[in-house]
Amino acid sequence: MKEKVNEIKRQFDKDVLGVTDAKTLNDIRVKYLGKQGMVTELSKMMKEVSSAQKKEFGMLVNEVRCHVTNALEEKKEALEKEALDKELASEKIDITLPATKIPQGSANILERMIEEIEQVCMSMGYDVVDGPEIEEDHYNFELLNIPKNHPARDAQDTFYVEGDRLLLRSQTSPVQARVMLANKGEKPIRMICPGKTYRRDDDDATHSHQFMQIEGLLVDKDISLSDLKGTFDVIAKKLFGDDIKTRFRPSYYPFTEPSVETDISCFNCHGKGCNICKNTGWITVSGAGMVNPKVLEDCGYDPKVWSGFAFGFGAERLAMLKYGINDIRTFYNTDLRELKNFDRKEGE
Ligand code: DAH
């Protein structure tokens, strides 16, 4: 009897030794501990053992059952560990391999130019506002003192959308009229409006049928041309450097009186003369002036109480100057090599 028990134990040890997978291990468990398993059968034999030997036989069977149970458990753990180690090894990451490069996007240079102006103006308390691109002739021209047949209309060859009433705005100046009317002649105004504008211009290196302007308007009490000069000075220095000088030249716009062209000293040659400033030492960057009293009045502001100034930048022109770009169409093409070039220029 004792021999039989030991034989089962030996056989089990042999069986378990070479097991390499969970399925075989389970088969072995069934073979020894299942309902008709060999160890289970041993227990059933208790009935046949004489009472004198029962104790010893019981102990033997128990011992072998413990041995089988523990060995199965140990083997199970070992197999699991082995599987995990294998998995970990196969998933090992080689951190010395070069990483996949994810190309980084960036804002278009024109957008960044506009953001720069927005930042400067916001730091002086200006709001950034929006206006419609499909505009009424009334706002785009009439309220800005450009009635029908006014020669100033010729300079802005306009896309009409519907008869002669609706058009694609040819300038951002109509937003001045909209903001003044919205404030009902009661409140001071400080606003800028960057936005798209449209003209039937021939597309060439410096003209595009669609371009961006940045309009500025300040209305308050006791505002004079020197306030405009001071404001322009701050903007020019922030955009082009602290050593930049500014000057005004007389000009004409129907909605400002007096009107000026604003110049900055050439940031490239510092006045010596180069091809950027066409050897004049100066570069024109915007139109500006004191808001015409007629415009103030038509837009609901009493010109005896209120005065103001306005300015209008061409965003592409500024960016072209600042980054040495000579074709306006570069901003609107989708050639990544060109756009990446801008990133480099900005990093200089
Ligand atoms: N709207 C003008 C243009 O497109 C630019 C301009 C000039 C805007 C003088 C202004 C200004 O606000 O005061 O040519």
Question: Which pLDDT score is estimated for 346?
Answer: 60
Task: Check if 137 has its Cβ closer than 6 Å to any atom of ligand 1.
Answer: no
For residues 166-175, average pLDDT = 97
Give Cα separations from 114 to 128, 280, 319 (angstroms). Answer: 11, 26, 9
> What digits encode the pLDDT tens for the residues 109-167?
899 999 999 999 999 999 999 999 999 999 999 999 999 999 888 888 999 998 889 99
Please give the pLDDT value at position 160: 94
Output the residue whose Cα is nearest ligand 1's atom 8.
Answer: 312
Backbone torsion region of residue 108, taken as left when φ is above 0, otherwise alpha when ψ lies between -120 and 50, otherwise beta: beta
Establish whether residue 173 lines the binding site of ligand 1, counting it when its CB lies within 6 angstroms of any ligand atom: yes
Ranking 29-33, 136-140, 289-293, 332-336 by mean pLDDT, the lowest is 332-336
Residue 80, exposed/middle/buried by CB under 10 A (0-12, 13-18, 19+)? exposed
Q: How far apart, in Å, are the Cα atoms of 174 and each of 144, 164, 166, 223?
A: 7, 16, 13, 21
165 half-sphere exposure, CB direction, 13 A CA radius: 2
Average predicted confidence (pLDDT) for the chain: 92
State whether residue 170 is helix, strand or coil. coil
Give the model's confidence band at 203: pLDDT under 50 very low, under 70 low, under 90 confident, else very high.
confident
When pLDDT is cut at 50, 70 and 90, the band that residue 206 belongs to is confident
What's the pLDDT score for residue 47? 85
Amino acid residing at 304: K
Average pLDDT over residues 22-50: 90
CA distance 253 to 251: 7
Cβ of 37 less than 6 Å from ligand 1: no
Q: Ligand 1 centre from 218 Cα, in Å? A: 14
pLDDT of residue 48: 86
Residue whose entry in the numeric block shows the structure tokens 């227990």: 43
- What pLDDT score was predicted for residue 333? 81
Find where tokens 């001045």 sit. 176
231 lines ligand 1 (CB under 6 A): no
Task: Give the residue whose CA is nearest to atom 5 of ligand 1.
Answer: 312
Cα 281 from chain centroid?
38
Q: Is 152 exposed, middle or buried (CB count within 10 Å of its CB: 0-12, 13-18, 19+)?
A: middle
pLDDT at 94: 85
pLDDT, tens digit (0-9, with 9 covering 90-100), for 227-283? 999 999 999 999 999 999 999 999 999 999 999 999 999 998 988 889 889 999 999
For ligand 1, atom 13: residue with the closest CA: 288
- Chain position carrying tokens 């036989």: 57
| From 153, 212, 255, mutation site for ligand 1 pocket: most ligand atoms within 8 A of C-beta | 255
Ligand 1: atom nearest CA of 215 is: 12
Task: Tell me: pLDDT of 347 over 70.
Answer: no
Q: Do 322 and 113 contact (CB within 8 A), yes or no?
A: yes
Give the other-Cβ count within 10 Å of 86's Cβ. 10
User: Above pLDDT 90, what percent of the chain?
Assistant: 70
Q: What is the pLDDT of residue 155?
A: 83
How many other CB atoms sit within 10 Å of the CB of residue 129?
18
Q: What's this model's pTM, rounded to 2 decimal places? A: 0.72
141 pocket-lining for ligand 1 (C-beta < 6 Å)? no
> pLDDT tens digits, residue range 58-114?
899 999 999 999 999 999 999 999 999 999 999 988 889 898 888 878 888 899 999
The preferred substitution site among 141, 200, 211, 311 for testing ligand 1, maximizing ligand atoms within 8 Å of CB, is 311
Per-residue confidence (pLDDT) for residue 142, from 0 to 100:
97
For ligand 1, atom 4, name the residue with the nearest CA: 171
Greater confidence, 97 or 186?
Answer: 186
